[in-house]
Amino acid sequence: MRNLFELLYYFRELLLVLLAVLVSLMLLLTGESRQSFALQDLFTGMIGMMPRTNLGFADIISYKEENQVLRHRLMQYALLNAELVDAARENERLRDMLQFTEESPYELQVAEVISRGASSILSTITLNVGTRHGVEPNFPVLALNGLLGKTISVAPNASIVQLITDRNFRLSVKVGSEGIRGILVPLYGPFAEVTGIPLNSDVRPGDQVLTSGFSDIYPKNLPVALVDEVEVTPGENFSRVTVRIQAEPSEAEHVFIMIDHGPGT
Amino acid sequence: MAPVLKIIAMFIGVMLAQLYLAQLLSLGAVRPDFILVFLIFASARYGRINGILLGFSAGLLQDLTGSLSVLGANALAKSVVGYTVGTLNGTMTVWTPRIVNLYIYGSLLGHAIIYQTIMVQGLQASPGILTSHILLEALMSSAIVTGMRYLIPIMPSRA
């Protein structure tokens, strides 16, 4: 018995690293368990309580650039708005004619990005709003350019967002003028692939990719990506459609959470 | 200050730097891993056991800030690095600086291979993308470790 203890003590470092590897592998296999989410919620709360960093000069430069982009965008939206007001009046008139009830508009909560996680690959961001602001898990999160992800862990004053570029993110989308349905699967960086697009579909580079609405989380017609490349391989049943995700997770400073997003279609 | 408290205090500082500053130094989709750099220095100084414990707990905390689908990826890679680099604690006076350097850079490459291979599982990423991610992460970590070694020497000077 004593020899066994001596042997264990002699190999203690090796045994410890094997134990650490074993526990890590178990966590990898059972990562999305209820206990893991509870632990992440706790950690999210701690990040939310941490003091914000003031990066000073670098921030001022980036805010100036962002401000210019926003002004430019505001002007574009102002011009677009004039057209939309006219279209809305016509829509209202037609709805009245068809006796449609008015759909409730989306309720958005503005949030600031306070952290981009500690991993060397960006897969989540932390926002400064949580349950106290009406946020719950599985709420869609939007950047100015399009869908950014969904909330996965929510603490009273902070929430973690799983980004659209995360390896486990999947989204039902529609592509092109015909609205062909497919599943968006992230590839690498800003690129993703839309699977399940039949060969004879009219999908071209530059076509818009929107949420299909076949989801309890995302309402339909949220902008997601633009088609980058369509590849047709002889003998395959589906086209390989590569898209470029419009939202830029690494640059977003402020985002919008859809508090009241209604059911999918 | 006791070594454990010292390590914890330094780790909190590094974790904050990782949370708030890493994005500023990102290259493409890969960001510098300050926690890995800290682990290299701490393991070399405090040995294998402390290296494994620090690597596992720091990696786990790092994983908790990200997607739970890869919970354990950093913990696994960093436990192995803590063990390998912890070996330097008893051998630094025996090994030549060149071997120590090779050992450290080899451990950083090992971390990149383990972590990036787990991260691309399930993605339809080509071997080229995986290789570029591995090299980018290893080069970035090596550059920071090399830079930091001018400030914090790992090896005792041989007078």
Report chain B residues whose CB lies below 8 A from the CB of A23: 56, 72, 75
Distance CA B49, CA A13 (A): 6
The secondary structure element, H or E, covering residue A242 is strand A238-245
Nearest CA in chain B to A22: B76
Q: Is residue B158 part of a domain?
A: no
Distance CA B26, CA B22 (A): 6
Query: Looking at per-residue confidence, does A81 or A126 come out higher?
Result: A126
Q: Give the model confidence (pLDDT) of A45-84 as tens digits.
A: 777 776 655 454 555 666 777 777 787 777 777 777 777 8
Q: Is residue A1 part of a domain?
A: no
Nearest CA in chain A to B55: A20
| pTM of the predicted model over 0.80 | no
Domain final position from A55, A76, A103: A103
Report chain B residues whose CB lies below 8 A from the CB of A58: 24
Distance CA A96, CA A119 (A): 53
* CATH code for the domain in which residue B79 is found: 1.10.1760
Q: Is residue A77 part of a domain?
A: yes
Domain final position from A103, A128, A162: A103
Question: Which of B52, B64, B66 shows the shortest C-beta gap to A39?
Answer: B64
* The predicted structure's pLDDT at residue B157: 46
Q: Quick check: B62 and A119 CB within 8 A?
A: yes
Where does A122-192 have alpha helices with state H? none
Q: Quick check: A16 and B26 CB within 8 A?
A: no
Nearest CA in chain A to B82: A17
Mean of the pLDDT values across residues A110-138?
86
Taking the CA of residue A158 and the nearest CA in chain B, the distance in Å comes to 12
* pLDDT range class, residue B1, cuts 50, 70, 90: low
For A234, the domain range is 171-246
Q: Is residue A10 part of a domain?
A: no
Q: Quick check: A118 and B18 CB within 8 A?
A: yes
What are A231's strand-pairing partners? A240
Q: Quick check: A28 and B64 CB within 8 A?
A: no
Q: Give the model confidence (pLDDT) of A216-258 as tens digits.
A: 899 888 899 999 988 888 888 888 899 999 988 887 788 899 9
Distance CA B35, CA B115 (A): 14
Q: Are B41 and B86 in contact (CB under 8 A)?
A: no
Q: Is residue A81 part of a domain?
A: yes
Q: Is residue A47 part of a domain?
A: no
Taking the CA of residue B159 and the nearest CA in chain A, the distance in Å comes to 32
Q: What is the DSSP letter of B27?
A: B
Mean of the pLDDT values across residues A185-205?
86
Of A95-99, A165-169, A207-211, least confident by mean pLDDT is A95-99
* CATH code for the domain in which residue A205 is found: 2.40.10.350
Taking the CA of residue B103 and the nearest CA in chain A, the distance in Å comes to 18
Nearest CA in chain A to B16: A118
ipTM of the complex: 0.81
Q: Is residue A37 part of a domain?
A: no
Q: Is residue A209 part of a domain?
A: yes
